[in-house]
Each structure stands twice: as structure tokens, then as C-alpha cells.
Amino acid sequence: MSADSFDYASRLRPDLPPPAVKWSGFPKYNFTGGHNDADSMPVADLIAAASNVLEREGRQLATYGLDSGALGYCPLREFIARKLARDTGIECSADEILITSGSLQGLDLVNQVLLSRGDTVIMEKMTYGGAITRVKRLGVNIIGVEVDGDGLSSAALASTLEELKQRGVAPKYIYTIPTVQNPTATVMSEARRSELLQLSKAYQVPIFEDECYADLTWAGKRPRALRAMAGNDRVIHIGSFSKSIAPALRLGYLVAGWPLMSRILSIKNDGGSGALEQMVLAEYCRDHFDTHVRTLRLTLRSKLDTLVEALRTHFGTAAELEYPAGGIFLWVKLPDSVDTSRLYQIALAGGVAINPGAEWMTDAAAGKSRMRICFAHPSEQVIREGVGVLADVCRREFGVPETIAGVHR
């Protein structure tokens, strides 16, 4: 810093989160975040798509929002509308779809229009860390509800809603990741979805449905979206191309009817999400999305199997897990004596990065011995080695794993 540089410390607003840590490169064994498989990036087809669309429509870059208005590039919205109808049962027009800069922007926009300090929202007890931190930063109370192998528990939700009603609290929404949940990777059945919708209707609490992994079920199909089953705007739906194509594109989408969409659009005053990305993605997806995702699923599943095998070898019964229904994450429970936040710090020094469970739970203490492992980015060789290094660190610091055995499947 130069001698005359300005010190902002006394000028910063008091409610900022802790300062960011400078990026110093990825660790050798990186099991954190939602990074994708580098060999699966469809580079040649993206180059061809970019070249085609720029030659044909590049002049539109001269305007904010291309020739498509504030909702985003029309051919991309039309692709999403067709895909939603086919895969999720959501019937909507391109005008009910807003292109966002990643689904994180979708989360922010919905929160901005619905939440005020002191409000209450309901979330799955184990859920996406980025959703928890966002809501907490707004001074909003989170009520965590039990999840099971079928996702958000309707029995637990029913008693939570009733209890809140008795206390005169009207939650602003129920946030759920029904299709390949983060971090548990379960897929909620249609029966469970119906129960949630009945509760949402009975208590007049909207559902906020986050579906960024739904293209990545091993089965290649998924139950109808909650929004499709509701058939109305009581369910806000967001999705993303981060996991199906590439997170660095920063492209997601939000589906809502005009009364809510018009309020969301009035605060999305960013001049539009990246136009070039939208053009290239629309051009690419038209011909390649389905084949790309089919191949990606196979790659991811093979990496998952390598990870499960490595955990079986190095941790044995000390690592409890349920085999995921899809996605890029494995949610692991280690013995109670292991504090994964400490394990994270120590393992990082050895080049292994994991996500400690506390960050993926509405009650951080309950996640003390859990960890989330992203298997999409590291190669199978790196997965095998990394799990071995992690097991060594864990044994040295916590005395586990001691024994080696099987896995639930």
C-alpha cells in the first residue's frame, strides 16, 4: 500500500461480513465448492456457437439487454421454457423467465423483494450454505426443519408451521432444494412434494424452489417441479447452468408470474446479465444440451464411485454416507469426536480442502462432524490420493478412522 493510500476502516458500514481472504490458488486436493469437471467443458462446441451467434447477431451487443428487454436474451428464455415444460412440467412463457447472473442472483433478488430485518423463513435443516449466509446477513430468522431420505420432512414442516402460527409468526417462504438436495443429494418424491404443497396452501406460505442440480440425476429423469404441481405463483422457481454446463458462465434463471416478476425486475437494475454468455449458451444449448448432460452424468457418477470406494478403503465405517441420487456432492458423517471445522484447517495445510458441515446446517453445531465433498472437479487419481491424505490427517488429529468396513448403498 502506498503511504498516501486511504484507510477506509472508519468509513465502512458496521454490518459488513468479515473481509474476504486473498485467493492464493486452489489446493492440490480440492473437494470444496461447486466446481465442475474440466474435461467435460464443451470447448469446441462453445467456440463454434460463439462464432455463429456473433456473426449473425453480434450487432445487438450495441444495446443494453440485446433486443430482448430486461428479462434477458429471448432465444435463451425460449430454450429454458421448452426445457422446463419437457423436464419439470412447468408450463410458462418466455416472459415468465428472468435470466440471472447465476442462481445466486436469483436468491438475492427473491430475498430483496420479500425479506425485511426480523422476518422468518423456513429452510431444510441441512441446506445450501450460500442461502443460509444470505438470509442471516439480512437479519432474518431461520427455522431449520428436519430432512430425511425423501427431503424436507412434511410431518416436521407441519408442526413447525403450526407452532409459528400459534406464535403469530407468518414465515415469508419455505426454501427447499427438492431435486438433488444440497448437501444430502436426495430427490424428493412426488408424494412428498404434494404434502409440502398442501401445507404451503393451508398456511399460505410460498415455497422457494431451488433446482440447480436437477439435470444431474443418475436416473436421467426427475419428478415434476413443485411449481409445476402447484400450477401457480405460490412456488418461485430458480435454476442454473452452473452445474449442467459451467459455473464460470454465471447464468441462471428465475420463473415467476408477472405480479412478482415486475417487482423483481424493478430491483434488477444491473443493465442485464452478461449478454455474450447468454447468446453463446442459447446457441450451444439448442443442439448440444441433452447430449452434453447425458455424458456429464456418466463422468460424474464414475467420479462418485471412485470417491465412495476411496472412502471405503481409507475411512471404512468411520465415514457414514448415503449414496447420492445425482449431483456433484457427497455428504459424509464422521464419528462425533471429529470436528470438521478443525479438520478443514489442518487438512488445508496438507493441501486437502473439504467443506465443513457446520456451514451447511441451519444449526451449525449439529454439523460439527459432517463434511461435504465435491467430486466433480478433481480427477479420479486426485480423488483417491486426496481421500488418503485426508484420512491420515484425521487419524493423526482425531484418532479416526480406526477400522475399515463397508458402505450403505
Ligand X SMILES: Cc1ncc(COP(=O)(O)O)c(C=O)c1O
Q: Interface residues with ligand X (CB under 6 A)?
A: 34, 102-104, 128, 130, 177, 182, 210, 212, 240, 242, 247, 252
Residue closer to ligand X by CB (options 214, 338) is 214
CA distances (Å), origin 404, targets 309, 310, 390: 12, 11, 15
In the bound complex, what is the minimum distance in angstroms from residue 185's beta carbon to ligand X?
Answer: 11
Q: Could you tell me the three cell numbers for 141?
A: 430468522
| 98 touches 251 (CB < 8 A) | no
On the question of a cis peptide bond just before residue 178, with omega within 30 degrees of 0, the verdict is no
In the bound complex, what is the minimum distance in angstroms from residue 210's beta carbon to ligand X?
Answer: 5
Q: Could you tell me the three cell numbers for 171?
A: 414465515
SS3 at position 342: helix
In the bound complex, what is the minimum distance in angstroms from residue 52's beta carbon to ligand X?
Answer: 25
In the bound complex, what is the minimum distance in angstroms from residue 40's beta carbon to ligand X?
Answer: 16
What is the dihedral angle through the alpha carbons of 387, 392, 394, 396, rounded to the nearest 10 degrees? 180
Instruction: Note the Cα 209 to chain centre separation in Å.
Output: 11
In the bound complex, what is the minimum distance in angstroms from residue 212's beta carbon to ligand X?
Answer: 5
Residue closer to ligand X by CB (options 34, 386) is 34
Looking at residue 180, the DSSP 8-state letter turns out to be S
Q: Could you tell me the three cell numbers for 306?
A: 471412485
Looking at residue 361, the DSSP 8-state letter turns out to be B
Q: Give the whole-angstrom CA distance, residue 85 versus residue 227.
A: 11
Residue closer to ligand X by CB (options 32, 68) is 32
- Comparing every residue's Cβ against ligand X, the nearest one is 102
Residue closer to ligand X by CB (options 100, 120) is 100
In the bound complex, what is the minimum distance in angstroms from residue 165's beta carbon to ligand X?
Answer: 28
In the bound complex, what is the minimum distance in angstroms from residue 321's beta carbon to ligand X?
Answer: 18
Q: Give the whole-angstrom CA distance, residue 251 versus residue 264.
A: 17
Residue closer to ligand X by CB (options 181, 340) is 181
Residue closer to ligand X by CB (options 102, 386) is 102
Residue closer to ligand X by CB (options 135, 391) is 135
Residue closer to ligand X by CB (options 358, 400) is 358
In the bound complex, what is the minimum distance in angstroms from residue 318's beta carbon to ligand X?
Answer: 26
| 120 touches 164 (CB < 8 A) | yes
Residue closer to ligand X by CB (options 242, 362) is 242
Q: Identify which of 217, 299, 284 has the alpha carbon closest to the alpha carbon of residue 38.
A: 299
Pairing of strands 320-321, 141-145: unpaired
In the bound complex, what is the minimum distance in angstroms from residue 261's beta carbon to ligand X?
Answer: 19
CA distances (Å), origin 386, targets 63, 258, 324: 48, 48, 20
Q: Identify which of 263, 212, 254 has the alpha carbon closest to the alpha carbon of residue 235.
A: 254
